[in-house]
């Protein structure tokens, strides 16, 4: 059996000439937690709406849990839980009533599922409270309970961290880890706050202006954000040629006409210096530096604000 839960192939979406998604191809594997990172307006919600069946792509296609036929995909969506652009709640109804209504809408005959998901999101003590009287953190948890009522294999959450205080962010993070581990549920969660998803996700997908610009495992991102080598010299094109020839697979980014950043391999500094000198390249800087997650995000998105 395939371990791929979602595969998209060149998904694009246009609105009156505006490109919201541009040839997005990604593969998500079972039981991972994917952080979908991008500034507001990058295309995160559009992508999630397509996968959830709320809108249709302009072009491209995708497979969900191994199925690519539209009718088969629709059947598989019964095993997908979603919370996109905030939780949709019945404000005058209680927590329990909201979950019960959702249980009936998704066709789950197990009445005990209501108690289970309310307990899962730690709202048992508040189950008789009207949704409109809940705090922001509790509303987010109720939204996740409603997404979980069908016992999904795949959970899609759009910006669930937005508006939460640090205490609620920690509680949400721990809850999602529990769902992933105990229920073997693949989670796809979007945010523009990389530092928060870094503590949750096993894998990261970066989107910018509708295009996927990078994918990383947690280990890869940790390596890139811990240290990098900054090179300033008289011939950056030749420096890039040297990197490609002698250090294949090394991640780097040309920052300016005279600057390149090389990620994750500080031990290569001495060897790189030798090759640059042999090529007759005048070096003005060759140093090890560190950058934060936010700095890295700004670097790969071209320095634009991420909020």
- Count other Cβ atoms within 10 Å, centred on residue 103: 19
pLDDT confidence of residue 307: 35
Q: State the average pLDDT over residues 253-275.
A: 86
Q: Which two tokens stand for residue 1?
A: 């059996």
- Give domain 4-216's CATH number out of 3.40.50.300, 3.30.470.10, 2.40.30.10, 2.160.20.60: 3.40.50.300
Q: pLDDT tens-digit profile of 28-40?
A: 999 999 999 998 8
Task: Please classify residue 210 by burial: count the beta carbons closer than 10 Å to its beta carbon, then call 0-12 exposed, 13-18 middle and 19+ buried.
Answer: buried
Where does the pLDDT of residue 264 fall: very low under 50, low under 70, confident under 90, or very high at 90 and above? low
Q: How far is CA 125 from CA 48, 94, 129, in A?
A: 32, 12, 9
pLDDT confidence of residue 261: 87
Q: State the average pLDDT over residues 66-90.
A: 91
Q: State the average pLDDT over residues 147-162.
A: 92
As a whole number, the mean pLDDT across the chain is 90
Q: State the average pLDDT over residues 78-99.
A: 92
Instruction: Answer whether 0.95 is exceeded by the pTM.
Output: no
Instruction: Decide if 216 contacts 259 (C-beta within 8 A).
Output: no
In CATH, what is the architecture of 228-289?
2-Layer Sandwich (3.30)
Q: Is the dihedral of CA 294, 51, 186, 87 positive or negative?
A: positive
Q: pLDDT tens-digit profile of 107-133?
A: 899 999 999 999 999 999 999 999 999
What secondary structure, in 3-state letters, does 221-275 show? HHHHHHCEEEEEECCHHHHHHHHHHHCCCCEEEEEECCEEEEECCHHHHHHHHHH
In the predicted structure, residue 154 carries a pLDDT above the cut 70: yes
In the predicted structure, residue 305 carries a pLDDT above the cut 50: no
- What residue segments make up the domains of the chain, in order of their start? 4-216, 228-289
Instruction: Decide if 146 contacts 114 (C-beta within 8 A).
Output: no
pLDDT confidence of residue 249: 82
């Amino acid at each position: 059996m395939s371990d791929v839960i979602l595969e998209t192939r060149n998904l694009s979406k246009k609105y009156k000439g505006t490109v919201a998604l541009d040839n997005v191809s990604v593969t998500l594997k079972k039981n991972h937690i994917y952080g979908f990172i991008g500034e507001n307006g990058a295309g995160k919600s559009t992508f999630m709406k397509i996968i959830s069946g709320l809108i249709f792509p302009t072009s491209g296609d995708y497979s969900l849990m191994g199925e690519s036929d539209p009718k088969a995909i629709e059947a598989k969506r019964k095993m997908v839980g979603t919370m996109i652009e905030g939780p949709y709640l019945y404000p005058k109804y209680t927590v329990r009533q909201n979950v019960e209504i959702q249980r009936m809408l998704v066709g789950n005959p197990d009445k005990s599922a209501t108690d289970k998901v309310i307990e899962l999101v730690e709202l048992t003590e508040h189950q008789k409270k009207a949704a409109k009287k809940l705090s922001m953190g509790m509303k987010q948890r109720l939204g996740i309970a409603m997404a979980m009522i069908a016992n999904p294999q795949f959970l899609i959450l759009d910006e669930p961290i937005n508006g939460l205080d640090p205490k609620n962010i920690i509680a949400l993070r721990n809850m999602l880890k529990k769902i992933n581990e105990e229920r073997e549920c693949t989670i796809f969660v979007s945010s523009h706050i990389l530092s928060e998803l870094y503590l949750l996700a096993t894998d990261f997908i970066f989107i910018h202006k509708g295009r996927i610009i990078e994918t990383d495992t947690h280990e890869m991102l940790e390596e890139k954000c811990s240290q990098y080598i900054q090179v300033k010299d008289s011939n950056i094109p030749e420096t890039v040629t040297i990197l490609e020839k002698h250090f294949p697979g090394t991640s780097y980014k040309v920052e300016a006409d005279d600057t390149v950043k090389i990620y994750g391999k500080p031990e290569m500094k001495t060897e790189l210096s030798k090759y640059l000198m042999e090529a007759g390249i005048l070096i003005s800087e060759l140093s090890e530096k560190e950058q934060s997650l936010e700095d890295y995000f700004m670097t790969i998105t071209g320095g634009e604000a991420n909020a």
